[in-house]
Amino acid sequence: MRTTLSTTADPAAIPKVLNALEGWLGAAGVGGDDLGEWRLLAEEVLMNIVCHALAPDAQSVIRIVGCCGGDGVEIRFEDEGPPFNPCAVAPPDLSAPVEERCAGGLGIHLLQMLADEMAYDYRDGRNLLTLRKRHQPQALPDA
């Protein structure tokens, strides 16, 4: 099962695409904690793109390509912002006192913790961030 969604880099547009993604995941048999984690992952990626890569802009487009099959889900986020590899970001020092920690980096840490795999590529002027997560398909309700 496959889907392609797109949204503008407008923060107000993100809830609509998150709801569409959640609907697709639910139809693909993803439920429970996996569904909530995917929504959190997607929201984090989309907000990072809007806030750091593209800046809020109703003209810039973010493309989301999802594929569900076998034992998991793969979702790729594509944007035309400056190259940025979140896979290369060092994990934050969570043992340091809060007042001594560097600002930022917790969202990327969240991606690394919740996704089973995270891959990055920069191709043809586009950032391509792919997240993979294994799951156990939920039984779909009888109609």
Indicate the pTM of the whole model: 0.86
Give residue for tokens 């917790």: 106
Write out pLDDT tens, residues 5-64. Answer: 999 999 999 999 999 999 999 999 898 899 999 999 999 999 999 988 887 777 889 999
> Residue 93 — very low, low, confident or very high, per pLDDT cuts 50/70/90?
low
DSSP secondary-structure letter at 8?
E
Sketch the domain layout of the chain as residue ranges.
2-134
**In the chain, which ranges are continuous DSSP H helix?**
14-27, 32-48, 106-114
Task: Name the least confident of 32-41, 61-70, 96-105.
Answer: 96-105
Give residue for tokens 């999802």: 66
60 contacts 9 by C-beta, under 8 angstroms:
yes
> Residue 126 — very low, low, confident or very high, per pLDDT cuts 50/70/90?
very high
Rounded distance between C-alpha atoms, residue 3 and residue 64, angstroms = 8
- Domain spanning 2-134 has what CATH number? 3.30.565.10
Q: Is 114 helix (H, G, I), strand (E, B) or coil?
A: helix
